[in-house]
Every structure is written in structure tokens, then in C-alpha cells.
């Protein structure tokens, strides 16, 4: 067994081919975490069961809902910890008056109780009150007079008072039955004890067969404080003010989040029901050559986001009996003409704002995807308003966007986006635009490598379109879009972008040239390393090696070997290919191998650079919103082709995931996880197994989510001796799996340092010939936006 341990290196920018050599010290040590001595304040909060608003009103139940999430948000500003006190709304309200609890949510403002409890300055939310019936009940309609003689169940709260006032206003004699508990109310409604159900704006969870009749009131509601706790009221006012200043649309986004699963959001209106009663099929027109949104594949079938979007919309509203067919159009104008001629019912995508859609005679649904627009140029465009734009004549959405935001700009039309990009390169125009979901893949193509992009500040929504007057269908589509996750379409779009990038023979040559440059750079690296070693010897510098008295040449051998083998292979392949240039397949295969080896060399250099940056503490994390489910899917996309190529069985699973979005540096977290997976792939043979699990575990900080990533393989494992130094830099253990395996032994080192930088920790379990299990535990801030 050979163990090599070395202290990190620092390399300057490879672009300038300047290499500074090895850095002598790699900082190793515990991560110090400061702890506050301030004890959080415990607040007794009344918690009653009310679907959507707050659920889980018992000791061991999992809590959720609008109010519960709002409490957690306030805790971020106040540091409060909550003690939940359970009961009915009326019981808890009396406890608030008596001072037995500190706070209670969901109270409307009433003058008669303004002196009895403390109202904060800002509301917690605004709700409408709706009446709901079963679709099968044909005696009751949206006409308020049809309620006469029927029973209406309502929770005994401000909503019940509003219902009484509404019925009195229209002189309707209905039997209003007040309930203490929500579950009793819904059970009686489902059993037919009451004919109509009164729900708040967020309503109750979706149940099949419900229909919203009418809205009978609207009110602001507050989270109120016991008069004995003036200190809490002061803190509440400060927290709500700070929250509003930081996130002015927080309550709106929270309402949208929970409204999507409510009966009032999902129960169909009479207009929507009429459309469904009169239609059993739908024809969708879509724009060709506009991936990832839409196109026609080589078999003549629809492809892109639209293929999955339409079934998802109807599934979201529990209407799966609609037959959907598709028609592709080469130009936007042809598609709009078809919808106005009623040849199709729906058009996708439409965009450019509601004014242009109105001019085209169509309604726009809510946004399916709202994404940035990229300005594409060769020479820098300082002021787009004074620029000349190339515009694709087949796609009017591009024209609408430019005329809306840069009305003074000059426009030159071309037949397709490829001609627009060529016009920019020929300087016939100053610039063009690309939709943000398309730009990255299109501009990977070799012929566009000199073009630059910058993101424009105005986003451009892509929507479904229906003919003006077809409001029943419009409402159905909007209802489905609202129920689907905000990022549903964006999350599936990545599957359809690959066809925008055609890897050509010219791209191979480009990769080959880059490989040569990398080889040159690394030859310089090796030379500098040798000079550095001689200098160390001359000055009699002794490096402390963990568990070893080997000198620095042994350490450098580890790096040099990782560089030399691919360099040698590149040289041999290049020599062979140069003698058979007429064999296009052999040349292509050779260039592919060169590209792979060059990538390996570059990976080695990148790891050394990353280790050095981490060692010096200069890495800055860029935290952003990350969807947990999509992140797990991306891990699977990474491992799949490599595992399949080696004949390794693999799985990527999630467990107990309750948090939708977290705030984290996505790139660096992925880098940390991929380094571990790379090791598993490297040291697991054909027929072996790799299991990746993402589990959410309980976290003591309510505003954080504890994410635990476990990568387990049944590969060759590690000896007990090596396991103790597995996280040290430049540490490797010889193995019998593949004598040709290379690497510099930095993967686990970088993983450990990245995870610790993010505030987490890494553990490792391994047995020789039995496999390895690496666990990454990280507490991430929950994103509620």
C-alpha cells in the first residue's frame, strides 16, 4: 500500500498560462462556530385546527398551513420559540382574553374587542368568504335566493357573522349552523347534514365534486396578542414591519402557495363546468423550432414543454377525460391565425404582453414560464434603445419584446434565429435576443463561440393563448397553471434543450486545440514543480508528512502521474490520427479520446486550484433558491450515463422531504456531492451498486431544513489505516480494481472543506472489500418565496 499526503497548491489563471507552483501550507483544523448566550423567548400561541390555514392541532401532529408558516417567518425576526396550546377557536379566544395564551391568529378587527386584545399595526392576511356546494345538488345555484330553506355550515368565527349579515342583506331565510371544529363541519357537509359549506378564501383541502357558488364577504385578519403581553406586541410590530420592508409580497406569495390546494381554487365555476359539459376534446397549436417550449420531433410528434404541460394542467384540476391533439406551425402569425379561425383551441407559446395579445384577438393565461431575455452581441451594446436588432420573422414574440422595452430601436428581419445570429457576427446588426431557456444551449455551438451575452432586466413570460370570448377554457387553464408548482415548466424544460446544441466535427477540433493548450500549460506546471522542489532542497526545507518520512518528490510523483499518463496518451493518439487523416471515423474517435483525456487533465488542475482557494479561505459562497426535488433529479442525471457505461446499478432516492426550496450555493453543494460520487464510480466495479439518498431530518432551528446526503457503494472500500487519512490532501490508496486509475487524491478533501464552509459536516464509514458510505449533513435556510 502506498499513502501520499501533501499540502495544497495555488495556480493562477490558466488563460494567461502563468503557473506559480505549489503552495506549501494547507490549513487543517476544526471549524470554530460561535454560539450566542441569548436564550430565545417562549411564546404561547393558540393553535386550532383549520384546513389550509393551520393544520396539525395536536401534540405529535406535523404542522403546516398559511398561519404556521407565517409563525416560522416571524421567528426569523424575533427568535421566538413557540409553545402550542390546542383547542377550538372560541376556547382559545377566551384563553387569550384571560391571559392564558400569548397570541392567537386569524382574528378580524372588531371595535368591541379592540380594548380587550392587542391588534398589531399590520394585517396577517386578507381573506374572502365563499359558499360551496356539491355539483350534484342542482337545487342551489349561484343565485343567492336559491339558498332559502337550505342549511349552511360555518365555523363559529367572524365568518359566521359575515354570513348572517350577507343573508340579512338579501333577505334570504337559510338555516345557519355554527360549528366549533372544522373537522365536524366538513364531516357533516360530506354526510349531507348541511347543504352548503362556508369556507375562508384559502378554503379547505380539495375534495372531488365541489363547486364554488359565490363570495359573501371579505376581511383582513390579524395575529393578536394578549393585553398582558405588551412586550410581545411591540416585538410583533417590529417584526412585521421588517418583514414587509424585506419581502413586501410575502403574504401574497404565501396565499398563492396554499390557495392552490384549496377547494375555492380547485372547485370549478359554472362557466368552467359549462365548457367541460360542451367539450370533450381540445386542439393545441404550437410553434415549431422553439425548444424547449415546443417543436415537432423526427417522427412528426409534438415535443417540448407543451407535451407534458397540457396533461398536467387537466390532471391538476381532476379533469382527465379531455382528449388533446396537437398541430405544429412554422410561424407565430400562422398559429395566431389558426386560433382566430377556430382551427385550434389553444396556442403555445404566446408572449409579448397582454396588449399585443389583445391586438391578436387572444387572451393570455397566467405565466407558464417567466424567464430572462439574453442580449446577444459581438461588439458591446451599451444602449439597446439605440441599437439595431436582428429579429426572427417567424417569431413575433421577439419583435413584441423589443418594441415594448426598446421602442426606438431599429429592427431588421431575418428568416430564422440562426440568420439573426450570423447577422450579428457579420456586423450587419448590433445585436439580437434569445429567450433565457434557449440561449445557453444555442450558443454552445462552435460557430457562435465569439458571441457574448448579457441578461436584460425585463423578463418575458411565455403563456398559453385562447381566443377572446372563450373565457370558460381560459379559466380552466389558469386554474390548472395556478395549482401546478411555480417552477413546474421550468423544471422540465431542461429535458428538451439538448437538441439545441449540435456537437459538430468542428467542435471536436475546437476541443482538440483546447487539449493541446492544456497540455502546454501542464508541461509548464511540471517544470515549475521541479524547479520548486530544487529550491526547497537547496534551502533544506523539510515538509512534515503525516505518518511518513518520504520527501516531496514522492508527493509530486502523485501529481505528475495524473498528468503524464493522459499527456502520453494524447501524444500517441495524435501521432496515429495524423497518419490516417482520410479515415474520418478513426480521426473522430481519436479526437474524442483526446477530448476526454484533456478534460481529465483540466479536472486535475481545477481540483488543485479549488483546494488552494479553500485553503486560503478566499472562496465566497453564492447562495440562491434551490428546489430540493429538482436538485435530486440533477444528481440522478449526473450519475446515470457514467454508471450505465460501467454496468453499475444505481439509485437516487429522497426520503421524508417536506421542504420545497432551500437557500444554498447550488454549484458548490453539487461539487461536494459529485466528488464523492466520482469516487464511488471509480472504485466500484461492473455489477456493483451505488445508492444515493437525500433525506430531510428534524432540525432544532425551525427556519432551517436539515438535508442529509448519503452516498453508499459496495466497491473495494478502504483499509482502516487509510480511512484515518482519507480526507487529507493528495492522499491515495493503491487498489486492485484498476491499476490504471489516476487522480491526485483531492476529491474528499474538497468535499470536506466545502461542506464545512457551508456549515455542515461529513462522515465516512468503509471496510476493505465491502464498500464505502459517505454522509453529508447540512442545515439549509428554508426559502418561502
Residue 105: pLDDT band by 50, 70, 90 thresholds? very high
Residues 668 and 748 in one domain: yes
Q: What is the C-alpha separation between 42 and 424, in angstroms, rounded?
A: 63
Q: What is the pLDDT of residues 181-194, one digit of tens each?
A: 888 998 999 899 99
Q: What is the pLDDT of residues 157-173, one digit of tens each?
A: 778 988 999 999 999 99
- pLDDT at position 147 is 95
Examine the fold and report which residue of 557, 587, 615 is the final residue of a domain before the chain moves on: 615
pLDDT > 80? residue 724 = no
Residues 568 and 590 in one domain: yes
Give the β-pairing of 42-47 and 81-86.
Answer: parallel
Residues 630 and 710 in one domain: yes
Higher pLDDT among residues 107 and 602, named by residue: 107
Q: Looking at the 3D structure of the chain, how many domains does it have?
A: 4
242 in a domain, yes or no?
A: no
Q: What is the pLDDT of residues 604-629, one digit of tens each?
A: 555 555 555 656 555 677 788 899 98
391 in a domain, yes or no?
A: yes
The residues, any chain, with a CB within 8 Å of residue 181's CB and separated by 6 or more, are: 49, 88
- pLDDT at position 534 is 54
Residues 358 and 487 in one domain: yes
Give the β-pairing of 362-364 and 373-377.
Answer: unpaired
Range(s) of the domain holding residue 594: 14-30+504-615
pLDDT > 70? residue 596 = no
Q: What is the C-alpha separation between 503 and 205, in angstroms, rounded?
A: 49
100 in a domain, yes or no?
A: no
> φ and ψ at 68, to 5 degrees?
-60, -45
Residue 418 and residue 476 in contact, taking contact as beta carbons nearer than 8 Å:
no
pLDDT > 50? residue 710 = yes
Give the β-pairing of 460-467 and 369-371.
Answer: antiparallel
Residues 429 and 387 in one domain: yes
- pLDDT at position 19 is 35
Residue 709: pLDDT band by 50, 70, 90 thresholds? very high
CATH of the domain at 631: 3.30.565.10
Residue 703: pLDDT band by 50, 70, 90 thresholds? confident
CATH of the domain at 436: 3.40.190.10
Strands (E), 409-449: 410-414, 431-435
- pLDDT at position 8 is 34
Q: What is the pLDDT of residues 198-255, one digit of tens each?
A: 987 645 455 567 777 888 888 888 999 999 999 999 999 999 999 988 888 788 778 7
Count Cβ atoms below 10 Å from residue 99 Cβ, excluding itself: 12
- pLDDT at position 35 is 39
Residues 583 and 541 in one domain: yes
Residues 519 and 596 in one domain: yes
Each as own residue / partner, the long-range contacts of residues 507-510 (CB below 8 Å, 24 or more positions apart, any chain) are: 507/445, 507/446, 508/588, 508/591, 508/592, 508/595, 509/591, 510/446, 510/449
Residue 603: pLDDT band by 50, 70, 90 thresholds? low
Residues 571 and 652 in one domain: no
Percent of the chain with pLDDT over 70: 75
Q: What is the pLDDT of residues 6-36, one digit of tens each?
A: 333 333 333 333 333 333 333 333 333 333 4
Residues 483 and 345 in one domain: yes
377 in a domain, yes or no?
A: yes
Q: Which range is most confident: 293-297, 616-620, 697-701? A: 293-297
Higher pLDDT among residues 152 and 571, named by residue: 152
The residues, any chain, with a CB within 8 Å of residue 192's CB and separated by 6 or more, are: none
pLDDT > 60? residue 466 = yes
Residue 699: pLDDT band by 50, 70, 90 thresholds? confident
For 33-47, 341-355, 758-772, which range has the lowest pLDDT when averaged over its residues? 33-47
Each as own residue / partner, the long-range contacts of residues 187-192 (CB below 8 Å, 24 or more positions apart, any chain) are: 188/153, 189/153
- pLDDT at position 330 is 96
Residue 446: pLDDT band by 50, 70, 90 thresholds? confident
Give the β-pairing of 362-364 and 431-435.
Answer: unpaired
For 138-142, 451-455, 473-477, 745-749, which range has the lowest pLDDT when averaged over its residues? 745-749
Q: What is the C-alpha separation between 339 and 334, in angstroms, rounded?
A: 9
Higher pLDDT among residues 147 and 769, named by residue: 147
Give the β-pairing of 151-155 and 196-200.
Answer: parallel
pTM score > 0.85 for this model? no
Amino acid at each position: 500500500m502506498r499513502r501520499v499526503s501533501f499540502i495544497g497548491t495555488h495556480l493562477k489563471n490558466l488563460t494567461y498560462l502563468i503557473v506559480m507552483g505549489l503552495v506549501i501550507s494547507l490549513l487543517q483544523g476544526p471549524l470554530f462556530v460561535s454560539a450566542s448566550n441569548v436564550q430565545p423567548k417562549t411564546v404561547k400561541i393558540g393553535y386550532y385546527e383549520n384546513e389550509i390555514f393551520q393544520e396539525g392541532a395536536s401534540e405529535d401532529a406535523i404542522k403546516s398551513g398559511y398561519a404556521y408558516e407565517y409563525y416560522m417567518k416571524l421567528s426569523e425576526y424575533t427568535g421566538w420559540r413557540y409553545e402550542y396550546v390546542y383547542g377550538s377557536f372560541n376556547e382559545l379566544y377566551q384563553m387569550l382574553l384571560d391571559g392564558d395564551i400569548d397570541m392567537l391568529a386569524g382574528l378580524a378587527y372588531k371595535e368591541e374587542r379592540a380594548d380587550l386584545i392587542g391588534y398589531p399595526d399590520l394585517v396577517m392576511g386578507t381573506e374572502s368568504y365563499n359558499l360551496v356546494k356539491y355539483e350534484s345538488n342542482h337545487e342551489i345555484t349561484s343565485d343567492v335566493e336559491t339558498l332559502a330553506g337550505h342549511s349552511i355550515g360555518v365555523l363559529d368565527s367572524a365568518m359566521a357573522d359575515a354570513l348572517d349579515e350577507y343573508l340579512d342583506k338579501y333577505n334570504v331565510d337559510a338555516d345557519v349552523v355554527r360549528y366549533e371544529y372544522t373537522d365536524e363541519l366538513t364531516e357533516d357537509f360530506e354526510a349531507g347534514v348541511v347543504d352548503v359549506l362556508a369556507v375562508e378564501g384559502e378554503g379547505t383541502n380539495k375534495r372531488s365534486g365541489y363547486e364554488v357558488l359565490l363570495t359573501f364577504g371579505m376581511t383582513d385578519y390579524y395575529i393578536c396578542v394578549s393585553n398582558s403581553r405588551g412586550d410581545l406586541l411591540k416585538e410583533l410590530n417590529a417584526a412585521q414591519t421588517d418583514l414587509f420592508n424585506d419581502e413586501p409580497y410575502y403574504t401574497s406569495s404565501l396565499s398563492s402557495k396554499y390557495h392552490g390546494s384549496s377547494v375555492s381554487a380547485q372547485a370549478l365555476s359554472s362557466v368552467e363546468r359549462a365548457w367541460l359539459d360542451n367539450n370533450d376534446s381540445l386542439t393545441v397549436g404550437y410553434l415549431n423550432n422553439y425548444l424547449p417550449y415546443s417543436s415537432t420531433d423526427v417522427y412528426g410528434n409534438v415535443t417540448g414543454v407543451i407535451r407534458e404541460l397540457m396533461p398536467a394542467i387537466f390532471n391538476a384540476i381532476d379533469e382527465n377525460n379531455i382528449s388533446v391533439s396537437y398541430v405544429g406551425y412554422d410561424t407565430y402569425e400562422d398559429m395566431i391565425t389558426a386560433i382566430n379561425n377556430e382551427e385550434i383551441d389553444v396556442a403555445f407559446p404566446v408572449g409579448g404582453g397582454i396588449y399585443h395579445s389583445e391586438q391578436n384577438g387572444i387572451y393570455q393565461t397566467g405565466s407558464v414560464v417567466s424567464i430572462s431575455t439574453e442580449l446577444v452581441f459581438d461588439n458591446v451594446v451599451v444602449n439597446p434603445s439605440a441599437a439595431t436588432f436582428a429579429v426572427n420573422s417567424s417569431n413575433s414574440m421577439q419583435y413584441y419584446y423589443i418594441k415594448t422595452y426598446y421602442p426606438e430601436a431599429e429592427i431588421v428581419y431575418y428568416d430564422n434565429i440562426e440568420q439573426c445570429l450570423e447577422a450579428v457576427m457579420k456586423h450587419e446588426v448590433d445585436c439580437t435576443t434569445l429567450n433565457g431557456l434557449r440561449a445557453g444551449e444555442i450558443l454552445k455551438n462552435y460557430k457562435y463561440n465569439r458571441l457574448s451575452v448579457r441578461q436584460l432586466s425585463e423578463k418575458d413570460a411565455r403563456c398559453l393563448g385562447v381566443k377572446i370570448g372563450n373565457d370558460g377554457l381560459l379559466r380552466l387553464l389558469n386554474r390548472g397553471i395556478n395549482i401546478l408548482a411555480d417552477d413546474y415548466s421550468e423544471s422540465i424544460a431542461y429535458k428538451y434543450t439538448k437538441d439545441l446544441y449540435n456537437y459538430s466535427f468542428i467542435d471536436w477540433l475546437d476541443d482538440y486545440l483546447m487539449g493541446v493548450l492544456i497540455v502546454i500549460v501542464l508541461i509548464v506546471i511540471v517544470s515549475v514543480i521541479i524547479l520548486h522542489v530544487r529550491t526547497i532542497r537547496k534551502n533544506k526545507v523539510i515538509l512534515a508528512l503525516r505518518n511518513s518520512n518520504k520527501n516531496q518528490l514522492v508527493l509530486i510523483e502523485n501529481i505528475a502521474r495524473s498528468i503524464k499518463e493522459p499527456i502520453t496518451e494524447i501524444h500517441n493518439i495524435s501521432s496515429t490520427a495524423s497518419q490516417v487523416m482520410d479515415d474520418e471515423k478513426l480521426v473522430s474517435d481519436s479526437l474524442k479520446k483526446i477530448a476526454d483525456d484533456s478534460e481529465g487533465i483540466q479536472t486535475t488542475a481545477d481540483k488543485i486550484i479549488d483546494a488552494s482557494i479553500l485553503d486560503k479561505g478566499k472562496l465566497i459562497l453564492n447562495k440562491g433558491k434551490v428546489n430540493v426535488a429538482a436538485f435530486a433529479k440533477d444528481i440522478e442525471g449526473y450519475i446515470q450515463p457514467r454508471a450505465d457505461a460501467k454496468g453499475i446499478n444505481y439509485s437516487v432516492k429522497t426520503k421524508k422531504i417536506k421542504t420545497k426550496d432551500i437557500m444554498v450555493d447550488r454549484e458548490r453543494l453539487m461539487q461536494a456531492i459529485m466528488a464523492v460520487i466520482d469516487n464511488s464510480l471509480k472504485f466500484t466495479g461492473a455489477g456493483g451498486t451505488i445508492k444515493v439518498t437525500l433525506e430531510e431530518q428534524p432540525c432544532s432551528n425551525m427556519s432551517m431544513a436539515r438535508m442529509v446526503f448519503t452516498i453508499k457503494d459496495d466497491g473495494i472500500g478502504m483499509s482502516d489505516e487509510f480511512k484515518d487519512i482519507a480526507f487529507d490532501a493528495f492522499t491515495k490508496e493503491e487498489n486492485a480494481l484498476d491499476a490504471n486509475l489516476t487522480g491526485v487524491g483531492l476529491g474528499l478533501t474538497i468535499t470536506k472543506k466545502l461542506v464545512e464552509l457551508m456549515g455542515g459536516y461529513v462522515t465516512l464509514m468503509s471496510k476493505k472489500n465491502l464498500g464505502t458510505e459517505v454522509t453529508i449533513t447540512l442545515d439549509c435556510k428554508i426559502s418561502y418565496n
